[in-house]
Amino acid sequence: MAAIEPKAPEGGTMPGHVAIIMDGNGRWAKSRGLPRSAGHRRGAEAARGCVRAAANLGIRHLTLFSFSAENWKRPLEEVDELMGLLRWYLKSEIDELHNNGVRLRVIGDRSRLATDIIKLIEEAEALTSENTRLNLMIALSYGGRQEVVAAARALAERVSAGELTPDEIDAEQFQAHLYTVDLPDPDLIIRTSGEQRISNFLIWQSAYSELVFLNTLWPDFGEADFLAAIEEYQTRERRYGASISRT
């Protein structure tokens, strides 16, 4: 992982938490006359390089949007291919992540995942739980609206059980029931492929995130693209609104 360290842009604040919507695998494959599976495999390689770059740049938190709740609607063959890539990643990459100080966590609805994948996730999370160089979050079977609904349901259950009154529910209480309860909100969200929307990704957490949209298709995303997005972030004057204070 530490083979060649990219040079961090100078003269600006580095984002502490970067989240990436990895988009464009299918278009990358189509433009080359290849099956979509080839795009997904190349995309997995790009994700590996992205994790390496983030760790070498000193970014503390990286979240990758790998499979959305809506992706379950894709053709079964494509879903099976994606789940196969996930199994490969969890089996072949975890030792390297662990040896390089990366902590892995998966956020999202695990109920639709195969039992063996859930077990691999739990084993990977346990193995890397004490690592501190980089916190890597994989958003899997994830949807921002679904996360908000789940948090609202959990709060309603607490109210029903008499553990909480409606008047005690505030933004802090709500955030405590999200998948990302112990994580900082993303400073920077990057989306590849030229699309300019967040597609149900971290909709609560992204309230004050800076958004950078790149035309690069995800399988072609490399260190130069990562640095370009950070450089764009560093030109922004971040504003949080008059009622928001940050330390």
Residue positions annotated with a catalytic role = 23, 71
Alpha helix positions (H), the chain: 25-31, 36-57, 76-92, 94-99, 115-127, 144-160, 171-175, 223-234
Please check if 199 is assigned to a binding site: yes
Please check if 210 is assigned to a binding site: yes
Distance CA 142, CA 63 (A): 12
Contacts (Cβ under 8 Å, ≥6 apart) of 147: 178, 179, 203, 204
Please check if 218 is assigned to a binding site: no
| Locus of tokens 């699309």 | 195
Please check if 129 is assigned to a binding site: no
User: Under a CB-based contact definition with an 8 Å cutoff, are residues 226 and 47 in contact?
Assistant: no
Distance CA 102, CA 108 (A): 19
Please check if 153 is assigned to a binding site: no
State both tokens at 231: 């450089």
Please check if 98 is assigned to a binding site: no
Please check if 26 is assigned to a binding site: yes
Please check if 36 is assigned to a binding site: yes
Please check if 198 is assigned to a binding site: yes
Alpha helix positions (H), 128-222: 144-160, 171-175
Please check if 25 is assigned to a binding site: yes
Please check if 197 is assigned to a binding site: yes
Strand order in the sheet with 134-142: 102-107, 134-142, 61-68, 17-21, 188-191, 210-213
Please check if 95 is assigned to a binding site: no
User: Under a CB-based contact definition with an 8 Å cutoff, are residues 94 and 124 in contact?
Assistant: yes
State both tokens at 126: 């346990």
3-class secondary structure, 226 = helix
Please check if 105 is assigned to a binding site: no
Annotated binding site: 23-28, 36, 40, 68-70, 72, 74, 191, 197-199, 210
Annotated binding site for Mg(2+): 23, 210
Annotated binding site for substrate: 24-28, 36, 40, 68-70, 72, 74, 191, 197-199
